Amino acid sequence: MKTMRMMAVAAAAFCAAGAVQAQEPLKIGMITTLSGPGGYLGQDIRDAFQLAIDMQGGKLGGVPVQVLVEDDGLKPGQGKQISEKFMKTDKVKLLTGIVFSNVALAVVPDVLEDGGIYVSPNAGPSNLAGKECHANYYVVSWQNDSLHESAGSNANNLGYKKAFILAPNYPAGKDALEGFKRAFKGEVIGEVFTKLDQNDFAAEIAQIRAAKPDFIFQFHPGGAGIAFLRQYQQAGLLDTVPMVVPSPSMDAVTLKAIGEAAVGVNVSAQWNNDLDNAANKAFVEAWKKKYNDRPITYYASQGYDTALAIGAALKGTGGKVDDAKAFRTAMLKADFASVRGNFKFGNNQHPVQDWYSMKVVKGDGGAPIIKTMGKISSNTGDFYAKDCKL
Amino acid sequence: MRKILFPILGLALLLAWPFVAEKIGSPALITLFTRMMILGLAASALNIALGFGGLVSLGHAAFYGIGAYAIGISTTHAISGEPFLGLVSGSNLLIVNVLVAVVVSGMAAAIIGALALRTSGIQFIMITLAFAQMVFFLFLALKAYGGDDGLTFRRRNALFDLNMRDDATFFYVTLGFLLVWLGICARVLHSRFGLLLGGIRQNERRMQAIGVNTFRLKWFAFIISGMGAGLAGALMANLGRFVSPDLMHWTTSGELLIMCVLGGSGTILGPVLGAFALIGLEATLNTWTEHWQAILGPLLVLMVLAFRGGLARIGGRKP
Amino acid sequence: MTLVLEQLLNGVQLGVMLFLLAAGLTLVFGIMGVINLAHGSLYMVGAYAAALAAKMTGSFLLAIPAGLAAAALTGMAVEYLVIRHLYARDHLDQVLATFGLILFFNQMIILLFGRQPIFVQIPPFLSGAIDLGLFPYPIYRLCIIAAGLLSAAALYFLIQRTRLGMLVRAGATHREMVQALGVDIRLLYTIVFGLGALLAGFAGLMAGPLLSVQVGMGEQILIMTFVVVVIGGLGSVAGAFWGALLVGLVDTSLRAFLPQIMRGFMAGSEADALASGISAMGVYLLMALVLLIKPKGLFPGHA
């Protein structure tokens, strides 16, 4: 009898402990870049991710969640250190947040090997999209090359024939030019690699003027892109030689920093704040309510979508992440209303989505805006999906 | 007494550390400490040139990175089975790879040192920085080995039959390397070579006058120092199973200098202490606030102003 | 041929920007013997202060004094609070402390202005390009060249013809003697440091509309500035001037012409990648070469 009661007490205590544990929020680890010139990308991803949680009352898919955020400082080594701490000390199973491909390439394989799940809100390097694809690795944003392929298709649609292309001399830059050339049907009459930390482009602009192309394609994310565009416009070339860029070279933040000088630039992206769907309207409205006139970027939309995608998966598994297989089944359904409209996962668990052509025009209030002009392509997957055996 | 007491206490703490970390439920602290030891080794290597030879090098990240890349390149070639440059096949053995890393970074230090040592003072600081930047840009543009994305390999190099995947095991392996290195440092610095080096630091002209070939001695010090940095890079590559040009960024050279100064340049254990202090501080502040650099910056300034001669000399004799 | 001329002009423009930064750095080193890694931060302060003033007042002309004053005052405060205690220390301590300052300044800018690069309007009367006969050239860049050359001339006058300049020259060569003659050396140091900061701020505020005003903009140009200072010879303002022009011209021409030359030898895209790699290393190669031939730089200051 005595033993029975003891067991009952123990069982009750155990149940109580279980109940307490169930109420404890699920921890999601976010490794992202907050310091340095690229810091605003991480900040937007983090804030939009949190915004999605706040909009669902501190939950994702009905499951209370808590986001642990740490700054990787754009250092792969530091990112690794953080992921290790998250997984081993904080027992986090689900990670997200990395902005830059070089950090992702260092961190993601380890996370996967240790049995974690990684959902990318931004970087989608080719190395992880093809043969090396993984059942517990999801990309909500895009595969890197798609950005540049969409720009190439955009140039085709715009009827341009002779291209002059520029990107920094590092793998992401070289991939950008490759991706662009893969989709572009015209002729490339000039190709220039700039320095990685360069921000004065006078020499390159003089070469462009001498080459007389139909248009230029350039990929310079962040500050270098701002500098390039300003100098290009000041040289008086933007009116005569139009510019086609992928989204990282012209987001709402860089646009705000450049101002009117950017009017006329052609952009391609998977999302824009004027896309006409209910999910997007709700997102844009909530963002404006919380952050007023802070520009709303692609990165923010990706962070928000990542949170929604995770939420849909959590709803499917009842908040459990220990069973990666069950999580995968739920995740791949992509049962959420993406702010970009059509969205599903391809066989390599990267997005299959629509790409839009956009242009920088003068807005009603005078400040320039990025306006959606039309669709470039529908339900587009990526180049590396065919090599993935998932 | 305290001269022996503190190092022994420190060693005891390190030996017990993996158990402590497991006990307090933060196994990630094991790799954090491994990182600290590796950077401590790198800082201590820099210290041979800096603290003992008086050669302020702002380019040691190059040797550190070259050591790391030696591991990365050798290991990926071992995995793919393709020989390097079509000549030498890669290896997956830690001892072999570490030797390669040390030799290659030593050769790099020999070349850079031979040129850089023609200058002195600030010019020396800047010319070492210039060479390091060249190496940095070289690896950044080297697409065959990943460029900016770096090289990832799945498994740490093998050492006997140890389970290198286990972080505690790798911790002890690193500790072993660190102790061996510090032992070598102590030996070298108390040898005739070390004494002559000290003489050069204090007054080069006098040493020249008594017939010492100061250039050659400084060159040797620089090479040994580069080899140590290469060793540290080799261990770091194994810890993370990853190398990237980020390792050779000039801020890495700067951080190594900071560790030396913080801990006390010109002492044997000081740089290791400095590495523990700096990395520990960074890791702690980062969990407190995302604006951790706003605290770390002034803290560094205050430390320079308050502690002359570094942590290792607090309470001890003045430098 | 016109392309070559245009590229030379571009090189000169980069050169004068570098000079404005290098002049302050070399003065501070020459007179106080201090390496100031945080010099780039003063450049950033100048750019942010000018951008803020331009946004609040809507006037570029008011932004100029705002940027200059902010940079100079920040510089003097830094000198008073930190650098002053480092004169007697070795270069290592200086490197460490000023590295700490960089971290501090970057994070303060993030706290005050956020991480996003901020907007700077190019003044309307300076926007657009002007036809130089052979090719059109941005007016703003021409203005930078003019302003940079004027500053160089003013600095020359200040150093060679005024009492302050005399003290500066004397301080650079015989520090103790100047002190012994009863000059308030502390005040002189603060003034010189402020002057260097002012020039850095000037470069920053001019760079604003051309480049991007963002956190970390100082470090990007800092190393290049050090290269200039070392090539020119530490402590020598004339050396900084010629060094800056040399670096500006070499860097620009490598980027502009090397790809074409390389394409003569090998396939197009390989040539581009290699040429870009070499031109990225170009200025460092130049510095190494100069130091190997003249270990004290082209125009060595004091011994």
A-chain residues within 8 Å CB-CB of C211?
199-200, 223, 226-227, 230
C-chain residues within 8 Å CB-CB of A256?
116, 119
Q: What integer pLDDT is reported at residue A225 of this predicted model? A: 84
Q: CA torsion sign, C208 to C211 to C212 to C218?
A: negative
Instruction: Flag whether pLDDT at C204 surpasses 90.
Output: yes
**DSSP letter string, chain B:** -HHHHHHHHHHHHHHHHHHHHHHTT-THHHHHHHHHHHHHHHHHHHHIIIIIT----S-HHHHHHHHHHHHHHHHHHHHH-PPBTTTB----BHHHHHHHHHHHHHHHHHHHHHHHTTS-HHHHHHHHHHHHHHHHHHHHT-GGGTGGG-EE-SSPPB-TT--TTSHHHHHHHHHHHHHHHHHHHHHHHTSHHHHHHHHHHH-HHHHHHTT--HHHHHHHHHHHHHHHHHHHHHHHHHHHTEE-GGGGSHHHHHHHHHHHHHH-TTSSSHHHHHHHHHHHHHHHHHHH-TTHHHHHHHHHHHHHHH-TT-GGGTTS---
User: What is the tally of structural domains in chain B?
Assistant: 1
Taking the C-alpha atoms of residue A267 and residue A250, their distance in angstroms, rounded to an integer, is 7
- CB-CB: which of C116, C215, C259 is closest to A253? C116
Name the residue range of residue B174's domain.
Answer: 32-249
Structural contact between residues A108 and A137, judged by C-beta atoms closer than 8 angstroms: yes
Three-state secondary structure call for residue C264 = coil
Q: What integer pLDDT is reported at residue A216 of this predicted model? A: 94
Instruction: Flag whether pLDDT at A127 surpasses 50.
Output: yes
pLDDT above 90 as % of chain C: 28
Whether domain C2-121+135-293 has CATH 1.10.20: no
List, for residues A305-335, the tens digit of each pLDDT value: 999 999 999 999 988 888 899 999 999 988 8
Give the contacts of A1 (CB within 8 A, at least 6 positions apart). none
List, for residues A168-189, the tens digit of each pLDDT value: 877 778 889 989 999 999 999 8
Domains and CATH numbers, chain A: 9-142+276-345 (3.40.50.2300), 147-269+355-379 (3.40.50.2300)
Contact B242 A106 (CB under 8 A): yes
> In which band, very low, low, confident or very high, does the pLDDT at C222 lie, cut at 50, 70 and 90?
confident
In a domain, B128, yes or no: yes
* Mean pLDDT, chain A, whole residue set: 87
> In which band, very low, low, confident or very high, does the pLDDT at C301 lie, cut at 50, 70 and 90?
low
List, for residues C57-99, the tens digit of each pLDDT value: 888 888 999 999 999 999 999 999 998 888 878 888 888 888 8
Instruction: List residues of A whose CB lies inside 8 A of any B CB.
Output: 34-35, 69-71, 75-77, 80-81, 84-85, 87-89, 101-102, 105-106, 109-110, 113, 125, 127, 169-172, 174, 196
List, for residues C145-182, the tens digit of each pLDDT value: 999 999 999 998 988 888 888 888 787 777 777 778 87
Mean pLDDT of C101-109: 90
List, for residues A73-122, the tens digit of each pLDDT value: 888 888 888 898 899 888 899 999 999 888 898 899 989 988 999 999 99
Q: What integer pLDDT is reported at residue B313 of this predicted model? A: 67
Structure tokens at C76: 């003097």
Cα torsion through C106, C112, C116, C119, rounded to 10: -110
In a domain, B18, yes or no: no
- Please give the ipTM for the structure prediction: 0.79
In a domain, B315, yes or no: no
Cα torsion through B71, B74, B75, B76, rounded to 10: 120
Per-10-residue mean pLDDT of chain B, 319 residues long, equals 75 83 80 91 92 87 94 86 74 87 95 88 85 88 77 80 81 93 89 85 84 87 94 92 87 88 83 90 79 83 77 55
List, for residues B6-52, the tens digit of each pLDDT value: 788 888 888 888 878 878 877 778 888 999 999 999 999 999 988 88
Q: What integer pLDDT is reported at residue C203 of this predicted model? A: 93
Structure tokens at B48: 């041979």
> In which band, very low, low, confident or very high, does the pLDDT at A14 lie, cut at 50, 70 and 90?
very low
Indicate which of A32, A74, A88, A131 best probes the interface with B, i.e. most B CBs within 10 Å of its own CB: A88
Contact B296 C103 (CB under 8 A): yes
In a domain, B1, yes or no: no
In a domain, B286, yes or no: no
Three-class SS of B162-200: CCCCCHHHHHHHHHHHHHHHHHHHHHHHCCHHHHHHHHH
Q: In terms of Cα–Cα distance, which of B318, B295, B296 is closest to B307?
A: B318
In a domain, B43, yes or no: yes
pLDDT above 90 as % of chain A: 51
A-chain residues within 8 Å CB-CB of B28?
81, 84-85, 87-89
Taking the C-alpha atoms of residue C163 and residue C169, their distance in angstroms, rounded to an integer, is 10
In a domain, B8, yes or no: no
Q: Which of A12-21, A54-63, A186-195 has the lowest mean pLDDT?
A: A12-21
Contact C117 A207 (CB under 8 A): no
Q: What integer pLDDT is reported at residue A8 of this predicted model? A: 47
Q: What integer pLDDT is reported at residue A9 of this predicted model? A: 47
Contact A224 C115 (CB under 8 A): no
In a domain, B39, yes or no: yes
- The β-bridge partners of A351 are A345
Contact A102 B149 (CB under 8 A): yes
